[in-house]
Amino acid sequence: MNYKYTCLNPIAECGLTNLGENYARTEKFEDADAVFVRSAKMDELVPGERLLAVARAGAGVNNIPHAEYAKKGIVVFNTPGANANGVKELVIAGMLLASRDIVGGIGWVKENAADPAVGKAAEKAKKAFAGTEIQGKRLGVIGLGAIGQKVANAAVGLGMEVFGYDPYLSVDAAWNLSRAVKHCKNVEAIYRACDFITIHVPALESTKGMINAEAIAMMKRGVIIINAARDALVNEKDLLAALDSGKVRRYVSDFPTPGTASHKGCIVIPHLGASTEEAEDNCAVMAVKEMRDYLENGNIVNSVNYPACSLGPANKAGRIAICHRNVANMIGQFTTILGEAKINIDAIANKSRGDFAYSLIDVDTPVPDEVVKALEASEAVVRVRVIK
């Protein structure tokens, strides 16, 4: 089967070259079966009838209307962990920049570059930028996903006392964490204990503005806050007030805003977290791999709007992929339709996520068009696709 794809942002060629000969690029969004995207806003784009999937070469999907796409049977993927090391390194750099006032010191040197005795003058001026070391300090990591766990482990290696909080910590993530990371049962323990706090959670209704006046009031005086996750996680008004009062010593953000960019207590980076060559390559390769596995095998890995579901390579006579509502007796309906058509089922995988579910069915014979129409007739079915 041949597919058309389009890229709404530049996607690393090392990923796109893995698409193969049966993939053709189109510049028309409405003609695409598959879309690759990074930061382009998709809310106002109208998907064509052909669109099967969107792959975000990165972790955040706030630029994609994934909930609406689920209703159309359009699976949205992201690439968690592919850019984790790049973000981790930026967070570590942010802690060092904030603790030693390296930025201020570099600025002083540039301002005095014309002074023939700048080296001698620096010896007197450097006390203002000396700062403190991070070894022996307490770091609180909020969110222990792919990025948070790397930050925590790296900080342990730098001699910091690390505290971690994540109510949804997966078994895999727990295995990857250093034994030295102290687990906190609530985020308040992080606020009260730590000299540095770094945030690594998605921007949900429950997390937006979580770093606010109430949270800051629990923190140590002189705390340093690092935000390389999402701008919306921090209440900017409360944060700037805390900087003015000295409660917060420095705020390191990877998300420029007029308020933070102009404040002397903020170190604002132009969204460089995942913008390394390696991270962009890793995200592109992972996005293409996910897209191909879905289009060619029907398998879903790392989707944000449909559940993970897999039957491995499509090596039976037929495979049917069904996006449907998460309601009772759907499997019964599917098996009845196939049974009445005398089609033998070899394997079934069915998973649900919120309001939606996904079913993969391997069968021993090719799937006739009339069977597809019978499956599509159910009001709860969103999309039926015959993989082979």
Pair 22, 48 in one domain: yes
Pair 204, 260 in one domain: yes
Number of domains composing the chain: 3
Pair 103, 215 in one domain: yes
Distance CA 269, CA 226 (A): 11
Pair 248, 107 in one domain: yes
Pair 258, 367 in one domain: no
Handedness of CA 164, 221, 223, 240 (dihedral sign): positive
The range of the structural domain enclosing residue 17 comes to 1-82+277-306
**What is the pLDDT of the chain when averaged over all its residues?**
96
Distance CA 345, CA 363 (A): 4
DSSP annotation of 231: G
Section 100-108 average pLDDT: 94
- Cα 218 to the center of its chain, rounded Å: 28
Cite the DSSP H helix spans in 326-385.
330-340, 369-376
Pair 329, 301 in one domain: no
Which pairing describes strands 381-386 and 318-325: parallel, antiparallel, or unpaired? antiparallel
**CATH number, domain at 351?**
3.30.70.260
Q: What is the pLDDT of residues 295-319, one digit of tens each?
A: 999 999 999 999 999 999 999 999 9
Contact (CB, 8 A) for 47 and 65: no
Q: What is the pLDDT of residues 268-301, one digit of tens each?
A: 999 999 889 999 999 999 999 999 999 999 999 9
Output the CA torsion 147→149→151→154 (10° steps). Answer: -140
Pair 162, 219 in one domain: yes
Contact (CB, 8 A) for 185 and 154: no
Q: Taking the model in full, what pTM does it have? A: 0.81
Q: What is the pLDDT of residues 207-230, one digit of tens each?
A: 999 999 999 999 999 999 999 999
Distance CA 306, CA 354 (A): 9
Contact (CB, 8 A) for 378 and 372: no
Q: What is the pLDDT of residues 30-68, one digit of tens each?
A: 999 999 999 899 999 999 999 999 999 988 898 999 999
CA angle 3, 6, 11 (to 5 degrees): 120
